[in-house]
Amino acid sequence: MLVLVAPGQGAQAPGFLTPWLDLPGVEARLRTWSDAIGLDLVHYGTLADADEIRDTAVAQPLLVAAGLVSAAALGDVVPGAVAGHSVGEITAAAYAGVLDDTAALTLVRKRGLAMADAAAATATGMSALLGGDPEVTVPHLEKLGLTPANVNGAGQIVAAGTLEQLAALEADKPEGVRRVVALKVAGAFHTVHMAPAVAALEQAAKELTPADPSFTYVSNRDGQTVATGAEVLERLVGQVANPVRWDLCMETFKQLGVSALIEVCPGGTLTGLAKRALPGVSTLALKTPADLEAARALIAEHGGGREL
């Protein structure tokens, strides 16, 4: 069974959309979306530097656009399940037909702006902890006032909080943690620091009419499958201020019988986790169109799923 997944913020890199513009229709599609949301996705995906695309209000729509473009380039695929990490959940929701592409880009644009505003209130950030035992790490983070905002599995937890709290973590690592790596994000996402963004998204969600997902949709709130579009949308709103449980998503993939996993552009992060947490599962990261042939071969070998 094939699972299609979408990465979250921090996966972007300068110029990562450039090779995708060589595919027929991609640039026109991006420009149409750019006009709809008031953000030049072509510029930010090709010419902008690392600081420009680190901006939450830019990074989030850029990632969703990249995911949708690369997924569409795979052709007609019916995956056994879809899921996304953090903002990647919006990519997954659009791919599953819960929201159309323009609605998804409109929602993520509002999400990025609301989260950027929330992040501006206090100097906050996120750091990945490599190694360690969650039973030891989580209490240590809570002692420092930090939140385990992403529990990613495969021995990785991402801590979030104020810059002072993160500096204290760097000086006082939990036992067993090898490294603490600051992430390329502009705030403490998936924590109480993002609470102001929830209200803005609740208002934005009222303007949308979600459809039920066409494929099995796995929520990163708790790794559970979600059958209705209304519940998917409700979870997308609340999730900005709650931890991401990617570890539980991967447990659900196991239960569903996953045999292959493809991560849409800019792939790499989630396939890396899957290689460690899902031994025996074939993985592929879509980075450029050069990866499409191998992805299609993987799809042909492992099949998709069934429409609900």
Which residues are identified as catalytic? 86, 190
User: Which region, left, alpha or beta, applies to residue 100 given φ > 0 means left and ψ of -120 to 50 means alpha?
Assistant: beta
CA distances from 294 to 18, 83, 267, 283 (A): 20, 21, 14, 10
CA count, 13 A, side-chain hemisphere, 278: 29
User: Checking phi first, is residue 280 left (phi over 0); if not, alpha (psi -120 to 50) or beta?
Assistant: left
Alpha-carbon dihedral 166, 170, 173, 179, rounded to 10 degrees: 110
Contacts of 42 (CB under 8 A, 6+ apart): 17, 21, 27, 30, 31, 34
Residue position matching structure tokens 């196991």 = 254
CB-based contacts of 49: which residues, under 8 Å, 6+ apart? 14
